[in-house]
Amino acid sequence: MKHILTALAALFVLSNFTTGQSESVPDGDTLDETLALVGLQREDLGWRPKGYWTGFPADIPYKLRQFDDLFDEPLANISYLQTMAHTVRELLGPEQIDAKPARSSSGSLYLAVARLGVIQKNGQFRSYSCNLTAEDTPLDEAILAIYKQAQRPTKYVTFGDESPYPLVEQDLAEAVEAVPEVVQPIIGKLIMNILDAHYWATLALRNVPMEDRLAVVQRLNIGQEQVDALDYCPQFDDVAAQFDESSMWYAGLKVVEALDQTRIALNEVETDIGPFVFDWQTPLGWIRLRGTGNDEIDGDDTLLSVDLGGDDEYTGTIAASSITRLLGLALDMAGNDSYTGGTRVQGAGMCGVGVLLDVTGNDSYEAVEYAQGVGQFGMGVCIDLQGDDTYFSRYSAQGCGYFGIGLQMDAAGNDQYTIHADGQGLGASGGGVGVLVDNAGDDRYEAVRDPAITGRPSYHSAGKISVSNAQGCAIGRRGDGADGHAWAGGIGALIDIEGNDTYEAGNWSMGTGYWFGAGYLYDGTGDDVYRGVVWSQATGAHFCIGVLLDEGGNDQHLVEETSSNSLAFGHDFTIALLVNHGGNDIYETERPGLGYSINRSVAMLIDIGGDDVYRDEPKSRPGMAICDEGRLAGWDSYSTYFADSSSVGLFLDIGGMDQYEICRISPDRHRLHAIEEDETESTGDQSTEGTIAACSNNMIWLDPEDSLNYEVRNFSIGVDREQGEIDFRPIPEKRPSGK
């Protein structure tokens, strides 16, 4: 046994380990110093693919403009995500919602949708104004304007005489008398602004044949089809080529601002308004107005629904566009409301715009699929400003974008979100943008794991765990192994600012990317629990980005069900970043993770502050990079992109008295091994006969100097130090040089 200890001691020296000694803390940025241990700088991270890299996926359509730069500058993903979180803090707090934001002529909800959705998707916009011009208008006049824009008559004359029916103007004048006078001009103004938005939505589809629109609206399986390219639908490419997306996003912004202006105006009405009912079918869909009673509202073929109070029940396709109706809008001012629907409901934009705005109350939302903020060649927005709310949908919901924009926004309350798959911040094929934001409250996010319920068994878990594609996930259509039609993923983000939150999902979740998509999960303050399985919590595979950023609280990052490939795990040109600020945190995985890079990836786990616990698998250690040697043929292969690239697996803990459990150095493998039954167990920095702790407080652990990793530019870096600072900005002031 003694000779084993001698060999181990020599290995520690070769590997620049320090045992039981405090590491000196030089001046400078801690991350820069950590990278310098293996001769790297920040600009060495990431990739800018070369045109001569045969075999590296190229000519991938629909890739969002920010992807290449975030792929090339991995650390820029942190500041990029922080700017999105800042938008939520600035605009969706209880005081900010009603205030006029500085340097803007529009309201907070408009700015939030513009910055979190539209500008992420389309760089031609900047969030100045959506330029609404309508004034207070008599309600009947506004409705008659719908007929005019639709080129439909309001008087019918035949054989030289006016027909005795229908008498549109006369009947309408009588019907609007049911609506309180103080409300009529406010709704009239809203309708005039809606007509402005409708013009732009129509313009967006001017070159798209109706049969192609019908094909993409009826296609509801993109979430399950896209990953392995199961079934190509050519109309998606056809519509994308003819779709004027700028006009569609402009229409969506106008709708959001118009509803928000109406909300503010109705809140200022001092007159007591009781129950009333108004229904009118226009050429563009039904207008349904209700007072403060407990109403039942049918959302089918509804252009606009406005309810002023009461505990209401909504059914049908409320707040959703359709193939023949480009806008579907709903505003509910107060009450504990119930929204129950099937497909394409509750903020669904399918070749159009669907927006639902609920102001106060403890509300429940239930749907089958394509709901609660989903966009497919359109914009879908579901906004709830107050109350303890519950959201349920099976598929494609709660912030989900396919070739479009889907936003789910909740400003306050203890909320519960449940989905089977594809949502809770999914940016999918066609550069889709899907974002779920929740500003405050103790919230629970669940993507159901049981494939017997979801029908989505994952081959990464032998069919025992569901594919979730949820909670800050971005996935494209990987066509390289099928028909060659590859569609880049987009931006998928889940952003929660305050509260003690729980995240639970199956595979592909919680800041995960796939195929040119960037998936983000941000949590601000609070004691949070993350429970994932495979490909969960800052992970990704195949040319993508996955980031989880937690900025406060005592958190638990747990990977369950004998899982793998999680907790800052990157495979095949993936940026995988897990950064946690403050708090006494727990990280637990039964398989490789904790800053684990394979096949040319950058995987980093960085924890700043707190007394943390790390539980890793016996054959791994925090901060490892490995590569399939068979894929490193270099100049003897048909392509050099693997040989030309580098891998980084980095672990960095700054501050606190941390515990490292099941983490040992192996004298014969340059890796780690499980403790044999006849060996004495050891944890933390307490070493005993038969094993020496590989990771502990105030230590550095690297690959041995004779490791083959250095020859193929795989860099394994592990550091625990007492103090330090990191500047995550793309070009930090402390950085000695830049690109």
Pairwise CA distance, residues 403 & 249, whole Å: 12
Contacts of 263 (CB under 8 A, 6+ apart): 331, 333, 357, 359
Residue ending a domain, among 413, 428, 457, is 413
Q: Are residues 275 and 386 in the same domain?
A: yes
Rounded distance, CA 348 to CA 446, Å?
A: 21
Domain boundary among 413, 436, 471: 413
- Is residue 334 in some structural domain? yes
pLDDT along the chain (739 residues), means of 10: 28 32 58 96 94 92 97 96 97 87 82 97 92 96 97 92 90 96 98 98 98 96 88 96 98 98 95 95 98 97 98 98 96 98 97 98 98 98 98 98 98 98 98 98 97 94 94 96 94 98 97 98 98 96 98 94 84 97 93 90 97 82 82 65 92 96 48 29 32 74 89 93 91 51
Domain span including residue 182:
136-413
Same-domain pairing of 114 and 170: no
The helix (run of H) or strand (run of E) holding residue 140 is: helix 139-149
Burial of 162 (C-beta count, 10 Å sphere; 0-12/13-18/19+): exposed
Same domain, 186 and 103: no
- Asked if 115 and 141 sit in the same domain, the reply is no
Q: The pTM is what?
A: 0.92
Q: How many domains does the chain have?
A: 2
Q: b or e along 425-441 (b: 16 or more beta carbons within 10 Å of the residue's beta carbon)?
A: bbbbbbbbbbbbbbbbb
Q: Which of 413, 446, 465 is the last residue of a domain?
A: 413
Same domain, 103 and 147: no
Residue with the two structure tokens 């993903």: 77
Shared-domain flag, residues 378 and 264: yes
* 44 DSSP assignment: G
Distance of CA 406 to the CA centre of its chain: 10
pLDDT at residue 562, rounded to an integer:
64
* Per-residue model confidence (pLDDT) at position 730: 77
In this prediction, residue 736 carries a pLDDT of 53
Q: What is the pLDDT of residues 456-506, one digit of tens each?
A: 999 888 899 999 999 999 999 999 989 999 999 999 999 999 999 999 999
The first and second tokens of residue 736, run together, are: 């000695």
Can you read off the two tokens belonging to residue 233? 């639908």
pLDDT tens, residue by residue, 255-288: 999 999 999 999 999 889 999 999 999 999 999 9
Angstrom distance (rounded) from CA 409 to CA 675: 49
pLDDT at 692: 41
Same domain, 114 and 215: no
User: What is the C-alpha to C-alpha distance for residues 259 and 266, in angstroms, rounded to an integer?
Assistant: 10
Looking at the structure, tell me whether residues 271 and 213 fall in a common domain: yes
Instruction: Please say whether the beta carbons of 417 and 443 come within 8 A.
Output: yes
Query: Does 208 map to a domain?
Result: yes
User: Does residue 645 lie in a domain region?
Assistant: no
Instruction: Judge residue 452's burial from the number of C-beta atoms within 10 Å of its C-beta, 0-12 exposed, 13-18 middle, 19 or more buried.
Output: exposed
Verify that 355 and 224 share a domain, yes or no: yes
Q: What is the pLDDT of residue 632?
A: 60
The answer to whether residue 554 sits within a structural domain is: no
In a domain, 492, yes or no: no
* Residue 224 φ/ψ, nearest 5 degrees: -90, -20
159 belongs to a structural domain: yes
- Residues 101 and 27: their CA atoms lie apart, in Å, by 40
The tokens for 463 are 């069919």
- Positive/negative CA dihedral, 31, 33, 38, 39: positive
| Neighbour tally for 472: CB within 10 Å | 39
53 closest CA partner among 654, 508, 470, 644: 644
C-alpha to C-alpha distance for 28 and 74, rounded to whole angstroms: 20
Structure tokens at 467: 């594919």
Whether cis (ω within 30° of 0) applies to the bond prior to 61 is no
Please state, in angstroms and rounded to a whole number, the distance separating the CA atoms of residues 545 and 547.
Answer: 7
- Residue 142 neighbours by CB under 8 Å, 6+ apart: 187, 188, 189, 191, 192
Q: Is 710 exposed, middle or buried (0-12, 13-18, 19+ CB in 10 A)?
A: middle
* Residues 594, 624: Cα–Cα separation, whole Å: 8
Per-residue pLDDT, 694: 67
Asked whether residue 391 is assigned to any structural domain, the reply reads: yes
Q: Calculate what percentage of the chain has a pLDDT beyond 90.
A: 77
The pLDDT, as a whole number, for residue 25 is 40
Mapping DSSP onto H, E and C, the string for 156-189 reads CEECCEECCCCCHHHHHHHHHHHCCCCCHHHHHH
Based on the fold, state whether residues 188 and 256 are members of the same structural domain: yes
Asked, for residue 409, whether it belongs to a domain, the answer is yes
Is the CA virtual torsion 727, 733, 735, 738 positive or negative? Answer: positive
Percent helix, strand and coil across the chain, each rounded to 5?
Answer: 20, 30, 50
Whether residues 110 and 230 share a domain: the answer is no
Amino acid at 544: C
Q: Are residues 339 and 396 located together in one domain of the fold? A: yes
- Whole-angstrom CA distances from 149 to 154, 194, 202, 349 are 12, 11, 11, 22
Within a 10 A sphere around the Cβ of 688, how many other Cβ atoms? 11
3-state secondary structure of 142: helix
